[in-house]
Amino acid sequence: MEEIERATDVILDGGVVLLPTDTVFGLSANVFDDRAVEKIYTLKNRDRKKPLPVLVADYTDLLKLVETPSRVEGRLIEAFWPGPLTIVLKKLEGASSAAFSGLSTVAVRMPDSDLVRNLIREVGTPLATTSANLAGEPAGLKLAEITPEIKENVDFILDDNEKHLDIASTIVQVVDGEVKILREGAISREEIIKKSRE
């Protein structure tokens, strides 16, 4: 697909792509390219102390970023990936990115989107990806709703014109074997807790 090839070239060249995930529109860049990551922060006017979530295409990508997931984390991954679940995991000691904001953890998700996962595979690295909106404003659900300030300053816009969930992912973190819901989104608290105990 020509659009994916163009988006790949832009990301490999240090650019930021506006794209539809399976939840909301996002701003994506190579997670290991600090200058590209900085551009996302600037586009969103986002606090640099707030880390950026990361999208992966598969389990191999995941292990480029984080330590092997625990049993409970593994249950959640198996139950909800690919899909609208973001899991905060312990970062690999050698993994470095401005997207992590100096933290020892990273929020990771595998999107239920062939378009996005194929793009990640073409780029060859996970993508730092956050909602396409200015800090403090609602997430971008449709391309037409995204502020012109963002659309005019990204390096490429990738749109598949398909229907998406139009709701942000649920964010969880497992602490001492217990699941903490950091943000309830597309997956309910009840579903998360149930699967974590199966």
Summarised one tens digit per residue, pLDDT across range 62-99 is: 999 999 999 999 999 999 999 999 999 999 998 999 99
Q: Where in the chain are the domains?
A: 2-196
Query: In 3-state terms, what secondary structure has residue 149?
Result: helix
Q: In sequence order, which residues have a C-beta less than 8 Å from that of residue 22 and are 6 or more positions away? A: 82, 83, 84, 111, 112, 113, 116, 164, 165
Rounded CA-CA distance 40/17 in Å is: 10
**CA 198 distance to own-chain centroid:** 26
Summarised one tens digit per residue, pLDDT across range 91-116 is: 999 899 999 999 999 999 999 999 99
Instruction: Judge whether 129 and 54 are in contact, CB under 8 Å.
Output: yes
Specify whether domain 2-196 bears CATH 3.30.300.30.
no
Rounded CA-CA distance 190/198 in Å is: 13
Query: Residue 163 above 70 pLDDT?
Result: no
Supply the pTM of this predicted model.
0.95
Instruction: Judge whether 157 and 27 are in contact, CB under 8 Å.
Output: no
Angle at 110 between CA 92 and CA 161, to 5 degrees: 145
Give the pLDDT of residue 77.
97
